[in-house]
Structure 1
Amino acid sequence: MDRLNTFDAGFLDAEDADPHVSLAVGAVSILDGPLPDRDALATLIGDRIAAVPRLRQVVRRQPFDLSAPEWVEDPALDMAHHIRRAALPHPGDDAALFRFTAEAMESRLDRERPLWQCWIIEGLAADRWALLMKVHHCIADGIAAMHLLAGLGDGGEGQTYVGAIRAAHAPPHRPRTLPTLTADPRTLVRGVVNSVSALTYSTAVTVGGTVQILDSLLRPGPKSAFNGPVSTMRRYSAAQVPLADVASVCQAFDVTLNDVALSAITDSFRAALQRRGEVPRRTSLRTLVPVSVRPGAAMGELDNRISVMLPHLPVDESDPLEQLRTVHRRMARVKSGGQRQAGGMAVAALKLVPFALTSRVVRLLTSLPQRGVVTLATNVPGPRHHLQVMGREVVRMLPIPPVALRMRAAVAILSYGDDLVFGVTADFDAFPDVDDLADGIAGAITRLATVARHPEPRKEHHDPSPGAQENSCRSG
C-alpha cells in the first residue's frame, strides 16, 4: 500500500481542525498570447498532469484513523473536474487577476477526487493569459510543488535555483562509527572521545532548539491584528524585483538572499503595524520560516521535507540597514541554535508513533488558539529560465502561500528567471491593505539596492555606549 507519511497527513488534519482554511499551495503563470486553442490546451495539460501518478490518486482515510491514509488510483478520473476556465473582467489588470486568485484559493479541494485544480484564465491585458495551478499541501511542499509546476512546461523541469539551498548539496548523512577494538589504544580512546563529544554537542544543540520552538509556540506575543481567527475569504497580491537588485545588496553587506527578503518583509510589516496604530515591538513579528531538508536526490519526489525556524523579525527597528543587519544576526543565531535540527527530529519522531495518536494530537494542537507566531515567510527556488507552454512564454510566475493557524497573512518568495517575486495571501477582513503590504516589500528592496550601489560616506561617531561600533551602519 502507498500511504501518506505522518507529516504529509498532518496537513489534512490541520485543515480539518479549522473549517475556515484551505491548505493548498499554488502558483499563477502569466503567459504571452495569443491563447492557444482551448480544447488543445486542456488536452495537453491533462496529459502532462496524468503522467504524474500522485495527481491521478485520491486519499482514502482508514476507519477511526487507526492507520495512515492511503493513496489509491481514482477509477473515474475526469479531467473536466480539475481543468477549468475563467475570464477576467475588463481591463484584465493585476487587480482583477489577484481577486480571481484569492477566490480560487479560498475553497477547499474535494477530498473525493485527486487533490489539485488547474484554471485557464483568459482576458488579461496586453493579449496575455494565465494558468493557476492549485495543489494540496499534503502532496508537496514548496520545492516539490515548484518542480511539479515546472515539469508541466514544454521543456520539462529545466534548471532551477534549488541548488542554492543548503540541503540540496549536503553530503548524505553517515552515522559516526567507533574505532574497532583492534585499533591502537590511543586511537581508540581518541575516537571514543571525539564521538562522544560530537554526540553530546549535537544533542545539546537539538535540545536547545526544541526549547526555543516550544517557547515560541507557547508564549503569547503582543496582541496584534495580524494574529487571530481567520474568515473563509482571502485577498492576494504580488510584487517583484530584479534579482540583480537583491544580489547587489547581498554583495554590499555580506548577507544572504533570504536575509534581504526577510528584511524587506520586516520593513513592510512595520509600516502595516503603524497603519493600524500599533507600536512595533521587538516581539511583534515572530515569523514561521520553513527550511528545506530535502536532499538533492529527492528534489523531484512529491512529499513534504521541511523543518522550521521561528525568528522575531525586527519591526521595532526603523532604519532599513539596521533591519537587514539584525535579520542577518538573528537568522545566524537561530540556524546555530538547533531549531532546524529540532524540527527535523520532531518530524522523524512522529513516524515512530502510532498514526491514530499522532492524528489526534495534530488536530488538537492545530485547533488551539496560538498567539506566538504572527506570519509565515517561505522561500521557494524556481526555474532559472522562463518556461514555455505550447510555445507561449511564461513571463511572470506568482507564488501563492496558504493562510492558517491564526496567521492572517503569509508571504511566499519565489526566484523566477531574473526576478524575485513575493506573493502575499491574507485574510480578507484583516488585510484590506494587502496591496500596500506587497508593494512595501518591493519598495524596501529598491531602497536597499539604492544604498548598496550609492553608499553614503561613513559618519564619525563618538558614542561611548557598549556595542556602539557593532551597531553602527556600514556604508558598504
Structure 2
Amino acid sequence: MDHLTTLDAGFLEAEDSDPHISLAIGGVAVLDGPIPQFDRLTEVFAQRAARFPRLTQQLRLHPLDLAAPEWVPDNGFDITHHIRRAALPMPGDDDALHRLVADIMERRLDRDHPLWECWVIEGLGRRRWALLLRIHHCLVDGIAATHLLTALCDEAHHTDRRVVRVSEQSPPPGRPNPVTWLTGAINTVAGLGATAANAVRGVLDIAGGLLSPSASTLNGPMGAMRRYVSAEVPRADVERICAHFDVTVNDVALAAITDSYRSLLLGRGERLRRDSLRTLVPVSVRSDDAADRPDNRVSLMLPCLPVDESDPIRQLEAVHSRLNRVKTSGQRHAGSAVFAAAGLVPFPLSAWAVRAFTRLPQRGVVTLATNVPGPPEPLTVLGCRITKLLPIPPLALQLRTGIAILSYADRLAFGVLADYDAAPDVDVLARGIEGAVARLADLTTVPHRSTPLGTLALVP
C-alpha cells in the first residue's frame, strides 16, 4: 500500500480542523477558442490522466489513526465524476470567471472519490474558454500540481522536453538529511554540529513566529465563501528589475506583494509595524527528478515582509535582506527536519500532534505567499493556445488571504484567494501588485547611489 507521509496527512488534518475551509490548490488556464466538444475533451483528458495512477486512487483511512491513510485503487473510477462543465453569465468577463473560480474553490473535494476535478468553463468573452484544475493538497504540492496541469496539454504528449523546471527558489541539491541530523544530535554530548544547530534555531524561529500574536485584521476565523482575483506582470519587467538591483525573481514578487498589502492595510487604518506582515512562504525541497511524483516536498519560511517601509527601493532591499536572513537562520531546513522526525514515530502519535496543532488559534502568521515555476513556453490544449495560466493558493489555519505566484511564458501571474467577508477590498492586492512592479521597472531607468547603510537612494 502507498501510505501518505505525515506532511501529506497533515493537510487532511488541517482541513478537518475547520468546517469552512477546503484545502485544494489549483490553476486556471484561459484559452483562445473555439472550444472543443465536451465529449472530445473528456476522452482526451481521460487518456492523459491515465498516465498518473494517483488520479484513479482514493483515500482509505484507518480507525483511530492506527496507521497512516493510504492510496488504494478506486474500483468504480468514472472520469465523469472529475471532468465537469460550467458556463459564465453574460458578458463572460474576467470578473465573472473570478467569481466562478471562488465558488468552485470554496467547496470541498469528495473524499469518496479521487481528490481532483477539472472544470471546463464556457462563455468567456472574446471567443475564449477556460480550464480549472483543482486537486487536494494532500496529494500534491505546487510544483507537482503544475506538472499535472501541463500533462493535460498537447506539448506533454508530442515532445520529451520538460515543461516544468525547478526555479531559483528551490533549495540547492544536497540539503541536510533530517535522519542524519537526529542521529547526530542524539550522539552529540558536547554540542550540536553547525547544520543541526542551525536547524534547531530554525525550529525556534518558526515556533516564535507562530506564537507571537499579530494585531492584523488579515488573520482570524473564516467563513465559507471566497473571493478570487488575479494580476499579471511582464516577465521582462521583472527580469530587468532583478538585473538592475541584483535581486531574485522571488524578491521582486514578494516586494510587490509587500507594497500591495501596505496599501490595503493603510486603507483599513491599521498601524504598520516591522512585524505586521509575518508571511508563510513555502519552499520546495523537490529534486529535478521528482517533479512528476504526486506528493508534498516542501519546507517553510516565516519572514516579516516590510510593510512599514514606504520607499519602493528600500522595500525591495528589505525583502532581499530579510529573506537572506531567514534562509541562513535554518528555517528552511527546520520544516523538513520536523516532518522527517515525525515520520520516525508511530503514526497515531504524530497524527495526534498535527491534529492538536491545526486546532490551535493561530494568530502569529498573517498571510501566505507561494511561488511556483511554470512552463517557460506557451502551451496548447487540443490546438487551443493557453493565453493565461493563473494559480490558486490554499487557505487554512486562519489565514484569510493567500497569494500564489506562477510564471508562464512571458508573464508572471499572481492569484489571490481570500475569505469573502473578511476581504471585500481584495482587489486592492491585485492592482497593487501590478502597480508595484511597474514602479520598480520605471526606477530601473533612474541613477542610484549607495548610502552608508548599504541601502539604495535616488541621486538628487
Q: TM-score, normalised by structure 2?
A: 0.94
Q: Give the Å deviation of 1:403.
A: 1.1
Report matched runs for 1:309-388 at 5 Å: 309-388=301-380
Aligned to 1:204: 197
Q: Matches of 1:379 and 1:442 in 2, distance apart?
A: 16
Aligned to 1:270: 262
Q: Give the Å deviation of 1:163.
A: 3.2
**2:457 alignment partner AA:** C
Q: Give the Å deviation of 1:471.
A: 3.5
Q: Give the Å deviation of 1:108.
A: 0.3
**Number of residue-to-residue matches in the alignment:** 449
Q: Matches of 1:280 and 1:233 in 2, distance apart?
A: 28
Runs of at least 5 residues in structure 2 that lack an aligned partner in the other structure: 181-187
2:251 to 241, 256, 259: 259
Verify: 1:437 aligned to 2:421, yes or no. Answer: no
2:278 to 286, 292, 313: 286
CA-to-aligned-CA distance 1:355-395 (integer Å, 9 cap, x gap) = 11111211111111111000000000000111111011111
The verdict on how the C-alpha distance between 1:65 and 1:14 changes in structure 2, with shifts beyond 3 A counting, is same
Q: Give the Å deviation of 1:196.
A: 12
1:455 to 439, 446, 456: 446
**2:425 alignment partner AA:** D
CA-to-aligned-CA distance 1:314-369 (integer Å, 9 cap, x gap) = 00001111110000000000001100111111011110111111112111111111
Q: Matches of 1:172 and 1:289 in 2, distance apart?
A: 18
Q: 3-state SS of the aligned residue for 1:25?
A: strand
Q: Give the Å deviation of 1:16.
A: 0.5
Q: Give the Å deviation of 1:198.
A: 12
1:297 to 285, 289, 292: 289
Q: Matches of 1:56 and 1:207 in 2, distance apart?
A: 40
Q: Matches of 1:207 and 1:366 in 2, distance apart?
A: 21
Q: 3-state SS of the aligned residue for 1:206?
A: helix
Q: 3-state SS of the aligned residue for 1:153?
A: coil
Query: Are the aligned partners of 1:169 and 1:296 in contact in 2 as well (CA < 8 Å)?
Result: no
Query: Are the aligned partners of 2:251 and 2:320 in contact in 1 as well (CA < 8 Å)?
Result: yes
**1:303 alignment partner AA:** D
Query: Are the aligned partners of 1:115 and 1:136 in contact in 2 as well (CA < 8 Å)?
Result: yes
Runs of at least 5 residues in structure 1 that lack an aligned partner in the other structure: 178-194, 460-466
Q: Give the Å deviation of 1:165.
A: 3.2
Percent of pairs identical after alignment? 55
Aligned to 2:70: 70
Aligned to 1:48: 48
Cα root mean square deviation, aligned: 2.2
CA-to-aligned-CA distance 1:389-445 (integer Å, 9 cap, x gap) = 101111100000011111100000000001100000000011112222111111101
The verdict on how the C-alpha distance between 1:248 and 1:336 changes in structure 2, with shifts beyond 3 A counting, is same
**1:265 alignment partner AA:** I
The verdict on how the C-alpha distance between 1:82 and 1:97 changes in structure 2, with shifts beyond 3 A counting, is same
Which structure has the larger Rg? 1
**1:455 alignment partner AA:** V
Aligned to 1:164: 167
Q: Matches of 1:372 and 1:172 in 2, distance apart?
A: 28
**2:320 alignment partner AA:** H
Verify: 1:220 aligned to 2:213, yes or no. Answer: yes
Q: 3-state SS of the aligned residue for 1:162?
A: coil
Q: Matches of 1:381 and 1:272 in 2, distance apart?
A: 27
**1:237 alignment partner AA:** V
Q: Matches of 2:424 and 2:162 in 1, distance apart?
A: 37
Q: TM-score, normalised by structure 1?
A: 0.90
**1:220 alignment partner AA:** P
Aligned to 1:142: 142
CA-to-aligned-CA distance 1:279-298 (integer Å, 9 cap, x gap) = 11111100000001111121
Aligned to 2:126: 126
Q: Give the Å deviation of 1:97.
A: 0.2
Q: 3-state SS of the aligned residue for 1:130?
A: strand
Report matched runs for 1:153-192 at 5 Å: 153-156=153-156, 158-160=161-163, 162-165=165-168, 167=170, 170-171=173-174
